[in-house]
């Protein structure tokens, strides 16, 4: 007997068997009569970050009292927001610039255990990182966190293989249950078969192991969208300019909309300072003295075409200061990183000629075909927020995170690795719960998949059929699934009325025009830089750094963002000027000179000088 049920939902799409039913109109409820035995997969997306959502968020900041206000929209703030929202807390997230605008979009693009920390005997950090890596890859975000094969070339014949074997064995054992193979030792011939582009005389063999690849900016944004699905109120372009206190307790934060200049005060039981490298500045603004300080270290990566190096796996090399990774990224290699002190502008840690020379020197010592400046299509530079330790060298400072209740109603969190964002979020919410007057449930993020994860594996098995049905190539479908997972249908929905959106973006053919639109309608992009640097990674994947497609992108999104001709022209000019400044900075030999050039050009979001604008 087959029983029929009527289900009424407000949804974006419903899949029944192999058929997809689109929402008739925005926010319109539909009725679907289906048999109990039918296969139903519904993607419900309440959290569409766009201009309308951000306006509503501002109104909520003005009128509502929150359990938690999280300052910072990077990986740590995102992790805390999702943890708190899924515990049933009333949460707000305020980000001065864009989601993952700082450190969280400029990493080595990996969730990994950290071999270098194993060498430092930091077993707890490695074990925790490996566990979180597995959890993200297998359960929380399989569409975003993908297994990646690595080769670690061995250079010494006698002692290195047993030494590294013991290390990799620990690496495997600490990871617990895994969905990737364990280490495998390779001969010289076996290593060269996988990485023929390496010089013959720089290795005697190798070890194959696995870590994971992730688009850091996309992952952070998706964590925040998932938090919003569970009720978090999230907003970019919102800078803290001061704090309100009652006695010693922090009860409010003065905020300014950097795009419009309007101001208000947002109030909460607890404020979480999750600003990373800005930790000390926010504490100073609050008039509190933290229990730790944050040291900043700059890491630079270069991006080159795949043709520069013949290899069929990622590569790991140990340098005198850090680890040099060669990471496959679509049609490119990401090569880095450096590790040097940085004491200048925190928003724009400029890459220099010296940084790039360092990377080229070390990679060219290993590869048969030298890589030169003309090969480089992209460069990006980020800052590591390291909890200050006893060492004077940033290379040896710990990546363990620190959480402290700095004052009543004010908690700071800093340090840690991107891989452990979920654990950091849990720990900081646990600490903040001490200032929340009502009981706070335990964390459930260990079993809460991110948006796009549900149904991803099933869709990945249907790529040929999906490509035929959607009118796309199979590689385009794989690209979309790897960025959006089961939200792929939501991304492509506008193309029903405008088939042109299924065409590649001119001068950045790796992306569809529909992705540009979706970045604005659902992912909270409000400036050209948001789109070309973080929603799409055009600025690091194409030699023109996004300049050649800036006008096309601006024309696509101008009607959606309400830009007139003057605003559109301004956005294009700011983007081009900032790109030109970054390229000029890369030619400088010193941090000081590069910083002067990179910061001489205005941002699309003006930074508020809080030293001259005290609150209230």
Q: What are 519-541's pLDDT values in tens digits?
A: 999 999 999 999 999 999 999 99
The pLDDT confidence band at residue 178, using thresholds 50, 70 and 90, is confident
Report, as an integer, the average pLDDT of 607-611: 63
Report, as an integer, the average pLDDT of 301-322: 95
Sign of CA dihedral 346, 376, 332, 483: positive
Report, as an integer, the average pLDDT of 160-188: 79
Question: Both tokens of residue 467?
Answer: 């490509």
pLDDT, averaged across the chain: 89
Helix (H, G, I), strand (E, B) or coil at 98: coil
The pLDDT confidence band at residue 161, using thresholds 50, 70 and 90, is confident
Beta bridge partners of 60: none
Domain segments of the chain as ranges: 51-104+218-292+391-447, 139-214+295-388, 498-609
Report, as an integer, the average pLDDT of 30-57: 60
Helix (H, G, I), strand (E, B) or coil at 13: strand
Higher-pLDDT residue of 41, 245: 245
Please state, in angstroms and as integers, the Cα–Cα distance from residue 256 to each residue in 56, 61, 438, 607, following that order: 15, 11, 30, 10
Helix (H, G, I), strand (E, B) or coil at 122: coil
Residue 253 main-chain phi, psi, to 5 deg: -130, 130
pLDDT the model gives residue 4: 29
Under 8 Å between Cβ of 76 and 45: no
Q: What are 580-592's pLDDT values in tens digits?
A: 999 999 999 999 9
**Does residue 299 surpass a pLDDT of 90?**
yes
Under 8 Å between Cβ of 319 and 326: no
- Which segment of 119-123, 323-327, 333-337, 412-416 scores lowest on mean pLDDT? 119-123
Report, as an integer, the average pLDDT of 160-185: 77
pLDDT the model gives residue 36: 30
CATH topology of domain 498-609: Helicase, Ruva Protein; domain 3 (1.10.8)
Question: Both tokens of residue 410?
Answer: 């004010």
The pLDDT confidence band at residue 401, using thresholds 50, 70 and 90, is confident
CA-based nearest residue to 15, from 488, 408, 590: 488
Cβ within 8 Å of residue 57, ≥6 positions away: 92, 233, 234, 235
Q: What are 104-153's pLDDT values in tens digits?
A: 999 999 998 776 666 666 677 788 888 999 999 999 999 999 999 999 99
Cβ within 8 Å of residue 90, ≥6 positions away: 64, 65, 66, 67, 68, 231
Beta bridge partners of 265: 254
CB-CB neighbours of 501 under 10 Å: 21
What's this model's pTM, rounded to 2 decimal places?
Answer: 0.91
Question: Both tokens of residue 92?
Answer: 């707000």
pLDDT the model gives residue 26: 38
pLDDT the model gives residue 48: 96
CATH superfamily assigned to domain 51-104+218-292+391-447: FAD/NAD(P)-binding domain (3.50.50.60)
Report, as an integer, the average pLDDT of 4-25: 34
pLDDT the model gives residue 78: 99
Same fold, 51-104+218-292+391-447 and 498-609: no
- Pairing relation of β-strands 263-273 and 249-257? antiparallel
Beta bridge partners of 507: none
HEC letters along 569-593: HHHHHHHHHHHHHHHHHCCCCCHHH
CATH superfamily assigned to domain 139-214+295-388: D-Amino Acid Oxidase, subunit A, domain 2 (3.30.9.10)
pLDDT the model gives residue 14: 38
pLDDT the model gives residue 122: 65
Chain position carrying tokens 């290699």: 333
Give 588: exposed, middle or buried? Use CB within 10 Å, 0-12, 13-18, 19+: buried
Residue length of the chain: 616
């Amino acid at each position: 007997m087959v029983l029929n049920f009527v289900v009424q939902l407000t949804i974006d799409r419903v899949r029944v068997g192999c058929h997809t039913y689109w929402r008739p109109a925005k926010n319109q409820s539909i009725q679907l009569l289906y048999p109990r035995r039918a296969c139903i997969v519904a993607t419900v997306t309440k959290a569409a970050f766009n201009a309308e959502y951000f306006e509503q968020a501002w109104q909520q900041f003005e009128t509502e009292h929150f359990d938690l206000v999280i300052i910072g929209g990077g990986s740590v703030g995102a992790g805390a927001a999702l943890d708190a929202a899924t515990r049933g807390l009333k949460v707000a997230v305020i980000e001065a610039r864009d989601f993952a605008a700082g450190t969280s979009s400029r990493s080595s693009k990996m969730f990994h255990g950290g071999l270098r920390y194993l060498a430092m005997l930091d077993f707890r950090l490695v074990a925790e990182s490996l566990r979180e890596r597995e959890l993200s890859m297998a359960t929380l975000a399989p569409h975003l966190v993908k297994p990646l094969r690595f080769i670690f070339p061995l250079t010494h014949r006698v002692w290195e293989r047993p030494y590294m074997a013991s290390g990799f064995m620990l690496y495997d054992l600490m990871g617990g249950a895994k969905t990737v193979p364990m280490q495998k030792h390779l001969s010289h011939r076996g290593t060269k078969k996988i990485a023929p582009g390496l010089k013959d005389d720089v290795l005697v063999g190798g070890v194959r192991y696995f870590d994971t690849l992730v688009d850091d900016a996309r992952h952070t944004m998706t964590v925040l969208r998932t938090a919003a699905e569970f009720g978090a109120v999230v907003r970019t372009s919102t800078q803290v300019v001061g704090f309100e206190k009652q006695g010693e307790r922090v009860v409010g934060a003065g905020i300014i909309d950097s795009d419009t200049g309007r101001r208000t005060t947002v109030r909460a039981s607890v404020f979480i300072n999750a600003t990373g490298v800005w930790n000390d500045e926010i504490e100073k603004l609050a008039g509190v003295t933290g229990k730790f300080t944050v040291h900043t270290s700059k890491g630079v990566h270069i991006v080159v075409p795949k043709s520069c190096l013949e290899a069929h796996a990622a590569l790991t090399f140990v340098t005198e200061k850090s680890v040099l990774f060669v990471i496959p990224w679509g049609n490119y290699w990401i090569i880095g990183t450096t590790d040097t002190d940085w004491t200048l502008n925190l928003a724009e840690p400029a890459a220099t000629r010296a940084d790039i020379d360092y990377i080229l020197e070390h990679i060219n010592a290993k590869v048969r075909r030298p890589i030169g400046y003309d090969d480089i299509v992209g460069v990006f530079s980020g800052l590591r927020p390291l909890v200050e330790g006893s060492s004077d060298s940033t290379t040896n400072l710990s990546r363990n995170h620190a959480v402290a209740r700095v004052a009543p109603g004010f908690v700071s969190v800093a340090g840690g690795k991107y891989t452990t964002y979920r654990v950091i979020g849990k720990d900081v919410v646990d600490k903040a719960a001490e200032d929340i007057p009502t009981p706070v449930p335990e964390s459930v993020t260990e079993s809460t998949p991110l948006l796009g994860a549900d149904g991803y594996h099933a869709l990945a098995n249907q790529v040929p059929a999906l490509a035929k049905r959607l009118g796309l190539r199979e590689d385009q479908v794989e690209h979309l699934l790897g960025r959006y997972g089961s939200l792929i249908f939501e991304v492509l929905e506008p193309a029903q009325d405008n088939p042109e959106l299924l065409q590649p973006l001119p001068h950045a053919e790796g992306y569809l025009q529909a992705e540009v639109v979706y970045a604005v309608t659902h992912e909270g992009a409000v400036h050209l830089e948001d789109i070309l640097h973080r929603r799409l990674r055009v600025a690091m994947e194409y030699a023109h750094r996004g300049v050649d497609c800036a006008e096309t992108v601006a024309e696509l999104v101008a009607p959606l963002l309400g830009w007139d001709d003057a605003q559109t022209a301004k956005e294009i000019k700011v983007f081009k000027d900032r790109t030109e400044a970054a390229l000029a900075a890369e030619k400088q030999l010193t941090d000081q000179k590069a910083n002067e050039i990179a910061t001489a050009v205005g941002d699309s979001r003006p930074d508020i000088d809080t030293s001259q604008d005290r609150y209230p």
